[in-house]
A and B are shown apart, each in its own frame.
Chain A
């Protein structure tokens, strides 16, 4: 299925958010996720089913002021 990952269209075969993160190369990286503009805590990723067209944001620590 096609989902939007950080603003770019990507194809994933994973069904859950947890599996999609692995498939997209994030593995055990320190990231936070939101789907369709709502925060999905790490503990809920395995149970979160992705749907066609979902907008996934994967954020990580970055420089800030």
Chain B
């Protein structure tokens, strides 16, 4: 298993903590998923109910690595400030950097992303950039100091799967030694398995599990899928071909015409 800023994960699944029907179902889903990382966020806290404190206590009890995000940030300044606040609250250098460029597709503003990644890296952060599958942007993110890349499979929450397999495969081929994570767009276990079959190092998903009718069962399905995909990648899959090739030997076949 590849390392993420020096950390080896027990399982190549990163799971979001949003949109679950209840905290208990969230906890069940994490247990079934065997996820090694939980993504979290920061939002305004009320001095009266202090909802965030209870949530944080529950997430700590999961015993997984914490990856705070800058979800909802549309500018470099906003993302950088949020990252600083997250580092203090969650006591981690890890940051899932999101600089959103379009409200409909929630696709990253890759220009702002590269700029924010450079600022944060220079300030000691270990940046997990949510990016597109664009090869040139990926190269610029690495030059900015990122040691992990997280290209999207499809728009956040869309469940569309891997929309540009060629682009994802190209990234894998060009950056053999860089930990790559498909982040966003996963809807089914087959999508997660496919990402791992492409040689990706992990999958980050949230909605596919949280919005399933039975989140815990879907979490288990995702765990099995990433394991299957990972095993397949290591096993060196056969090359597809256009024409049929008999698997049963032809030699020795009886003449019965």
25 contacts between A and B (CB under 8 A): A26-B45, A26-B47, A30-B89, A31-B45, A32-B84, A32-B86, A32-B88, A37-B77, A37-B81, A38-B81, A39-B81, A39-B85, A41-B84, A41-B88, A57-B44, A59-B89, A60-B50, A60-B89, A62-B51, A63-B17, A63-B18, A63-B20, A63-B41, A65-B17, A65-B206
Residues in A1-55 with C-beta less than 8 Å from chain B: 6-7, 24-26, 29-34, 37-39, 41-42
CB distance from B28 to the nearest CB of A (A): 15
Instruction: Count residues on chain B whose CB falls below 8 Å from chain A CBs.
Output: 39
Which residues of B sit under 8 angstroms from A57, Cβ to Cβ?
44
CB within 8 Å: A-B pair count: 112
Q: How far in angstroms is the closest Cβ of chain B from A20?
A: 10
Interface size on A, residues (CB 8 A): 25
Q: Could you tell me the dominant secondary structure of chain B's interface residues?
A: mixed
Q: How far is the CA of A41 from the CA of B84 in the complex (A)?
A: 8
B-contacting residues of A (Cβ < 8 Å)? 6-7, 24-26, 29-34, 37-39, 41-42, 57-65
